[in-house]
Chain A
Amino acid sequence: MYRYDSIDKDFLADRTAEFREQVARRLAGELSEDQFKPLRLRNGLYLQLHAYMLRIAVPYGSLNPTQLRKLAWIGRTYDKGYGHFTTRTNLQFHWIKLSDAPDIVDHLASVDMHAIQTSGNCIRNVTADPYAGATSEEIDDPRVWAEAIRQWSTVHPEFNWLPRKFKIAVTAAAKDRTAAKTHDIGLNLKRSRDGALGFEVMVGGGLGRMPYIGQTIRQFLPATRLLSYLEAILRVYNRHGRRDNIHKARIKVLVAALGREEFAAQVEAEWEKNGAGADLPDTELARIRGAFVPKSFETLPSVSETFEAARLRTPAFARFARNNLKPHKVAGYAIVEISLKAIGATPGDATSEQMEVVADLAERFGQNDIRVTHEQNLVLPHVRLDDVPAVWAALAEAGLATPNMNLVSDIIACPGLDYCALANARAISVAQHIAERFADPDRAELVGELKVKISGCINACGHHHVGHIGILGVDKKGEEFYQLTLGGSAAEDAAVGQALGPALPYDKVAEAVDTLVETYLRERQSGERFLDTFRRTGVAPFKEAVYADVH
């Protein structure tokens, strides 16, 4: 993984010194809350319902064991012994004291981590495929480009005061694990016919109260021109994005207003005039690429006897292997998904002890590599099949072996009314109720891939628009109600879900999901996922079933 050099370390030290001074000036009353707010936001510090929340950046979801242990230690020392992984692959601590924040960011800096630009109207933490470097599907390592973007976007002099927040994702595989089309910019690495590397550039995706799927403005951008092209997009947006209405300030509104062609034409014109000043020289790209050269993999048989024996002996392990292992590009290795969605737990939460278990496993069995996914799970990308049984046993002991990847209980949920000042309704407990209904793992497996996503308000942090089943908390005369949508997707077949019908009260939501699933099981034809069946039948049978039940 990328290691900070002295320049990166100096940069962080300067930033933490600046932040310490800003906090001191705030505590001394020299800065008003209005003046302080955008400064603390650019350092990841939010004011929530009960306390400050600190959002720590995990660039492109990549962590090493030392970093994860430090996060565990911070959770134990300054918070309540746990943290929350987010859909932006960040880690949030929800119970932080303002006066502790400068010390915490110093501790983070000691392991090359920070909370820079994890909120505020600036370029946010860049995300990438969590299987980078491990999947045979990729045509290049997206982390190389994500790291280039991380550096370029850090304290960018021109783009730190944008109309609104700005999110970029990089993927390099046909199967999109980054939700690229829901980003302000989604980048998809491709090779041209002559073998040259480039990006398909998608712009203007985004959720929130007006969901849009990103549109392609360039089919093939030569990879080495990436940063100058991003600069052109950002400049057009910085100049022309709306600043009069916070709800219309995202780039998606500008792209929709101008139309894809006109927006693309403006970007191309700006790019041509601006030249290549922002682009990295080959030497720097090579230096970054060097940080991601594959670890040395052993030459192993593709079938592991230890692994096969454990599978036959232990049904629970066999189930874990079926659901949580993904094929690795090297024979004899596997990608291991660690679910942070234990039945009844808060989606995305991990205790300090759990973080330490994962850090230990990564060190012993996983080439010191840990990933965070936008679906709020963790990944050990490089585990020998021979070691998977031992990894599983340790995970199981720590409550981390829930075999539910991509199943109905692998739910994305925002913090909702439990933490968030903007929420209309609870999201976490709705997720828990649904997970409990599908606690029987046989039934969950029978149902198969089903992505449930829950947001506590229209800001859509839980990505409900792109859930196969989306659930949105709304307020009806002071009571929590939930709007259900069906048929959304955040993957390469991205789509915004379609409303099911009138909103349902809190205690009817899990039941309604159950009914939707039963309807799917009744309607499905061979090999269809929930999403496929919905796309074939439309909303009618689902609607009928749910509202017949409710009334």
Chain B
Amino acid sequence: MPKHDTPMLDELEKGPWPSFVSDLKRQAETHDECWDILGQMEMSYRDKITHWKHGGIVGVFGYGGGIVGRYSDMPKEFPGVEHFHTVRVAQPSGMYYSTKNLRDLMDLWGKYGSGMTNFHGSTGDLIFLGCRTEALEPLFWDLTHDLKQDLGGSGSNLRTPSCCLGESRCEWSCYDTQDICYALTMHYQDEVHRPAFPYKFKFKFSGCANDCVAAIARSDFAVIGTWKDDIQMDQAAVKEYMAGNYPSNAGAHADGDWGAFDIQKEVIDLCPTECMWMEGDELKIDNSECTRCMHCINVMPRALRPGKEKGATICIGAKAPILDGAQFATLVIPFAKVSKDNNYENIIDYIELIWDWWMEVGKNRERVGETIQRIGLPTFLSVMEVDPIPQHVREPRSNPYIFWKEEEVPGGWERDVDEFRRKHAA
């Protein structure tokens, strides 16, 4: 039986699409608190203001993250959502679940909470929505002991690292995204479970520039697969595409009528660096100008492949709009080897250079991208011990001054005053 009238929410059940309102009503048959979600939401729609409060001290013993406190500010009217905490459960690398694992997770969550979930949050975790304070510890115990799964990060912690499915299914992956994601999650357990910084910090790993985890838009430290040598090319397959014998984009857009495949229009003219052309019936690429954007490879996967000398580009400092406008991560390390042979030590070194600097100079609640913006990329590049390259330059300089460092000036700052006075007596 509905506990509250929800005329506005009921409107959202009328369309042809799936409705979260219908889902909530169905869930309310076994979890009464879901009526109060609906009731409180109807009130928010009417009053045009939220009735959720968030944050505070809730957590589980030994951890300083993974649980986000959430409360109703109308607990008398909606007692079911008086406490409605969010639990972040670390997702498996590449988000591979067995159906048994999913059933076990749902049984656990139905027992201790509302049963409402979010697969997955923008951090990457599987999210349980709606836990009472007193249910947190037992839920955590069963999750870690029976299911052998862990909470993810929240607050000023290192957030749960996430990755694309990489080499497990994708021929374009330039390194083993799942392996490094797991290895760094284990390496940084303390940082994931307890606050470590002035604000949040996220790693994300994509195997190529298609960037299926949107690392460049969502992570402070985006590791994006790339290659150093030439795109591998099969000229015979290029001809098959041109003859219409192979479907472009592996048939992904085949349900629309786009006409015959036109390599000039669909590949060459769309190359962002204009580094492709036809010579007779041969496709040519000036690989020294290619930015490894993946476009041509996506269109003609049987003819073109990433090169053989693989690794990753590291871009730093993406963030959501909360403080200062959204921004993408900035290219910092053009090419790094990503290999389990050295336990990712070179990647770890980069990460720790950033952390030491950001913890020192970053302001409270300032993402590292904002710190870089405030202090300047040239300073950050020297922190990262990389020499500037043209790709680090976004626009011609607008500041005419050059600030030399002491080691860049012959003789440094020290002057022999007596020697100087001999030539400049006054």
Do A and B pair up? The answer is no
